[in-house]
Amino acid sequence: MLRIGMLTSGGDCQALNAAMRGVYKTITKNSKEPVEFYGFEDGYKGLIYGKFRILSDSDFSNILTIGGTMLGTSRCPFKTIREPDEKGLDKVEAMKQTYYKLQLNCLVMLGGNGSHKTANLLSEEGLNVVTLPKTIDNDLWGTDMTFGFQSAVDIATRAIDEIHTTAFSHGRVFIVEIMGHKVGWLPLNAGLAGGADIILLPEIPYDLKKIIDVIEKRDREGRRFTIIAVAEGAISKEDAKLSKKEYKKKLSKSKYPSVSYELADQIVKKTGREVRVTVPGHVQRGGAPVAYDRVFASRLGSEAGHLILKGEYGFMVGYKNREMVKVPLAEVAGKLKMVDPKARIIKEAKLMGVSFGD
């Protein structure tokens, strides 16, 4: 009997169900022995507290096009994973005991950066683990692409698209705040696809004067509006000089909900222009996966299933140079794939007149 556990961890995204379906179909259709699948509810919490259900064909029917995750998910921060819960339970030991009690051959984890730290920890503790790269931020080390990213780009792009008409009608500056706390792949791609005039990323600290210059130049050229795509983690050059402790202190005392509102206030004071802020927020995580993500997540799931059937554990299934690859979990855990300020895509955007505020 081949027994497989599966969980989704961290923030949800599109195509989680498609990826799990890919794992299930590949293993059940190609295994030479009977197979049982155990779905852990709400991420690592399900593994910790033994909350699971046995999955069958009916669970994987008609889920390819459905967003979110049929198993539920939650955040279980890695920095506290070694700390006992409120009742004194050793969470790592509890996960191991659940794994052994169910006599699992492998645990499949679908998650992002923090979730991969825990997956690597469990692998180091002796469990057989295979993972899939899930995040709308596309910031996982070891893979060129994560599933959920393309769907989120489409949603964020549509938000920018819809802003154009009202921005033009009223002659306003519009700031669209796109998810991306530490890494700017999502606002970069959505900003380019949506025709933003200015794109602000966490990796490229901005100069307020440069932003004002772009707005005023567009005014002189007779352009009625300016669209600014801002990553939620964008930071000014002044703030980038602060230590992490100093910056956190500043944020804790700020009257602004986010950097976008602070920037909007600064632009109003400097230019007298009307400025509006739009925050698509969790809409970017929701809805059905686009066709690309359905195919991509299915392929990743199939590759994960293939690894399990071969008995190869301790890997994340990644995508490099248009090929599926297996990446050791130790190489993935704790690393972020940042946007290189000198990357070709940044240079190409600048050649087209896009400003990054630098």
Query: Are the beta carbons of 326 and 319 closer than 8 angstroms?
Result: no
Torsion, Cα 279 164 189 236, to 10 degrees, reads: -60
* Greatest extent of the chain over all pairs of C-alpha atoms, in Å: 72
> Looking at 137, 139, 154, 197, which residue is catalytic?
137
Any residues with CB less than 8 A from the CB of 356 and at least 6 apart, and which?
Answer: 198, 199, 200, 201, 204, 206, 341, 346, 349, 350
Helix (DSSP H) and strand (DSSP E) numbers for the chain: 13, 11
**Residue 42 appears among annotated catalytic residues:** no
Query: Are the C-beta atoms of residues 10 and 72 closer than 8 Å to each other?
Result: no
Would you state the structure tokens that stand for residue 251, as one six-digit string? Answer: 């944020």
Q: What are the Cα distances from residue 249, in Å, to 136, 243, 253, 254?
A: 28, 10, 7, 9
- Compute CA distances 8 → 46, 51, 71, 227, 289, whole Å: 10, 13, 7, 35, 16
- For residue 109 the two structure tokens come to 């984890």
Q: Answer whether 105's CB lies under 8 Å from 4's CB.
A: yes
User: Measured between alpha carbons, how far is 282 from 178 in angstroms, rounded to an integer?
Assistant: 10
Q: Strand pairing partners for 355?
A: 198
The residues annotated as belonging to the active site are 137
